[in-house]
Amino acid sequence: MKSEIITVGNELLSGATLDTNSAYLAEKLSEFGILVSRRTSVPDGVEPIAEAVEEAWRRVALILTTGGLGPTSDDVTKKALARALGKPLVLHEEILKKVEERFRRRGEKMPLVNQNQALLPSGAKWFVNNYGTAPGILIEDGNKRLIALPGVPREMKGIFEEGVIPYLRDVFGAAPPVIRRKLRTTGLAESALYEKIRRVIPEGGGLHFAFLPSYYGVDLRLEVSGREKEEAEKLLEEKLSKIRPLLGDFLYAEGEVSMEQVVGRLLLAAQKKLAAAESCTGGLVAKRITDVPGSSDYFERGVVTYANEAKHQLLGVPQKLFKTVGAVSPEVVERMAKGVRRLAKVDIGIGVTGIAGPGGGSAGKPVGLTFIALSDRKKVWVEKFIFSGDREINRLRGSQAALNMVRLYLLGKLK
């Protein structure tokens, strides 16, 4: 079965807001064997929305829209649906009472403009919104269906998971699911990853591969469609068993597990504690570690020693090193890792220094040059990286490389 997604909003077309709704909906629809054949973004306007709906209505049996269901003057999706499908808007008292009650619980009086959210195209059904005031809308006409959802991701996902999924299950039953697996790698370019595994990735039998690069590394997604669950999972595992050995230490996780989660689990298992001293990453390593609940069990502290004086005062980096080798050097980062470990009285210290850019580089030390050191009670390891010329990318990649260094150390793989 084919479907189309229409996202509404000037902010999507201007680039001010990233469209994450379409990706979420496409993935969820695939679980019912529903193919998204087209995704369209249109501005806030009755004419463009109505035109997009009319065209999609002629092509497919299922349309999903997101955005434009709010109460203000730029929220015109319902007017557009009424025009495109010839269904005048009708006030629903039950929806109005729910909106009024939501404001009452917050100790506020409902603005009159919110009455608009109780208007639905004639004959439409609605999905409860437990996360906002705009309900989802369902329009059925023969074998055609249109589902309109709010644009706010939290509201859209809540309505979809609590209302739309049960509806789709009732209507379409249990289609052969799309089974996916993801392998997460770091420190390996997309082309290099392909070269490592190209002998074992020919597609066929409903098996598909996708390379998903990011600033943290490259994810490899395997997907099987058109087969029963047990058969699909068996096919995936057979393929994964051939791929994993080829990836070696570059493979750090499977599924949606992040690098910081992997490092946290390893630290807990080893009963070791970590501290971080950062310069160019500005606290991003510590931020990522502490994003994981329970990280206080293995992360003692992080310090951002951005200025040379801070590196000297807090970490004991000798002043003469800044004059002889510079702050971005193996000698300085080694002292940073040692210094923060001693300061925090922990098992492992990690240090990061580099030239994030866009300025500050030279022929000998280009923008993107980064040194990372790891210190335990016996030894210090130092690694050199040269990332890109973009400041934010350098910081992201630096944080990933630092966390990966901790991972490899805890696995006994740091060379």
Q: Which strand ranges, in their side-by-side order, compose the sheet holding 179-185?
A: 207-214, 217-224, 179-185, 251-254
Among 21-25, 93-97, 170-174, 365-369, the least confident range: 170-174
- pLDDT tens, 75-103? 899 999 999 999 999 988 888 888 888 88
| Residue 188's CATH number | 3.30.70.2860
**Do 243 and 344 share a structural domain?**
no
**200, 175 in Cβ contact below 8 A?**
no
**Do 196 and 119 share a structural domain?**
no
Q: How confident is the model at residue 116 (pLDDT cuts 50, 70, 90)?
A: confident
> How far out from the chain centre does Cα 180 lie?
17
Q: How confident is the model at residue 203 (pLDDT cuts 50, 70, 90)?
A: low
Q: Is the pLDDT of residue 205 over 80?
A: no
**Boundary of a domain, candidates 231, 254, 277:** 254
415: in domain: no
Alpha-carbon distance of 127 to 159, in angstroms, equals 7
Mean pLDDT, residues 298-310: 98
| Residue 149's CATH number | 3.40.980.10
For the chain, percent of residues with pLDDT exceeding 90: 77
- pLDDT tens, 365-411? 999 999 999 999 999 999 999 998 789 999 999 999 999 999 999 99
**Boundary of a domain, candidates 172, 190, 214:** 172
**Do 27 and 117 share a structural domain?**
yes
Cross-strand bridge partners of residue 204: 207
Can you read off the two tokens belonging to residue 30? 């695939």
11: in domain: yes
Q: Which domain holds residue 243?
A: 179-254
Q: Is the pLDDT of residue 177 over 90?
A: no
Instruction: Give the H or E element holding residue 315.
Output: helix 308-315
Q: Give the pLDDT of residue 49.
A: 97
**363, 393 in Cβ contact below 8 A?**
no
Alpha-carbon distance of 396 to 351, in angstroms, equals 15
Q: Give the pLDDT of residue 109.
A: 85
- pLDDT tens, 126-151? 999 999 888 999 999 999 999 999 99
Quote the pTM value: 0.75
Domain count along the chain: 3
**Do 311 and 219 share a structural domain?**
no
Q: Is the pLDDT of residue 360 over 70?
A: yes
**Do 160 and 22 share a structural domain?**
yes
- pLDDT tens, 316-347? 999 999 999 999 999 999 999 999 999 999 99
Q: Pairing relation of β-strands 62-66 and 119-121? A: unpaired
